[in-house]
Structure 1
Amino acid sequence: MTWRRVVLAVVLTVAVSIGGLWLWGKPRSSHVMPTAQTSPVDVVMTYVRALNDRDFAASVRMGADSRGDISADWFTVHAPNMTNVTIDHVDAVMPGPRAATYLSNSELAGWEQTVHVDTTVTLNNFEGFHGPETDQPWSYELVRHNNSKPWRIFDQGEG
């Protein structure tokens, strides 16, 4: 009889844990995908809202890899929660080959258009630190093949 109780307790613990993680990770809202007419600033803001709302499907679709495929890695969809987002600077759009040289990133060479967006944000729960980290620089590199395609998040990070 004791053996059955132990098994039942383990099964219930696992089920409750999985259920709790599912509820925690469940999207809180869904976001409309940016169009070709959406500005880089609005793409960044939509991306941040999608991440904060755990709309990982939208976040993944807003990303791109060097081949132009929709792409996301673990960090991309589990980036820190960002609040108090301020757009500091948006660089002029430049051709991918020039951006590849300027930013020392050869993967940008395959894109027709790139743009760099600098922001200042409050990072919450970043790198295991649970208190907010205010006034942190966070940058985005957006790419697209031509004016008829929407901007995609190619890279992001501190700096």
Structure 2
Amino acid sequence: MDDANIPSLLSLPLLGFIEQDDPIYLATRRKILSAKTNPYFLNGPKFSGIGGPHQGLKNAWPMSVLVQALTTDDEAEIIECLERVKNVSVFGLINESVNVETGVDVHSGDGMTRPWFAWANSVFAEVVLTLAEKRPGLIFGRKGRYVVGEGWIE
């Protein structure tokens, strides 16, 4: 099993322990992101991602999906991860965890824990800054090079 927090097996490349293209890491990553091999990888009609024993078998953490986005070079996977998180962030902030079956009710807030979770919001900021610098076309919709703090470089 892998947990939704950082550190985790999924986050090892972010922490400098292994390269994200290492064959052992890639095999581990496939197992972590599969409900067949990780009992805390949760799939539902409203959300999917890694959860953990502290929130039960219905709640996955958006933070785990953001780490998934940060540990791949597959742009389609990155976009899919961002869409998954966006679709459950109904209050404009990243929740701690989301019920994979019900999602988050926009009126009552039911279906989530902690309507804003500073740790997850910080990881979201890391995703945005990383994409701005490494893959600006994914978030800005234009080609070129973007340097955080400097802007577009022609």
Same fold (TM over 0.5): no
Place the TM-score, normalised by the shorter chain, in its bin. Answer: under 0.3
TM-score for both structures, normalised by structure 1: 0.26
Query: TM-score with structure 2 length normalisation?
Result: 0.27
The structure whose RCO (Cα within 8 Å, separation 6+) is larger is 1
Give 1 or 2 for the bigger CA radius of gyration: 1
Which structure has more strand as a fraction of its residues?
1
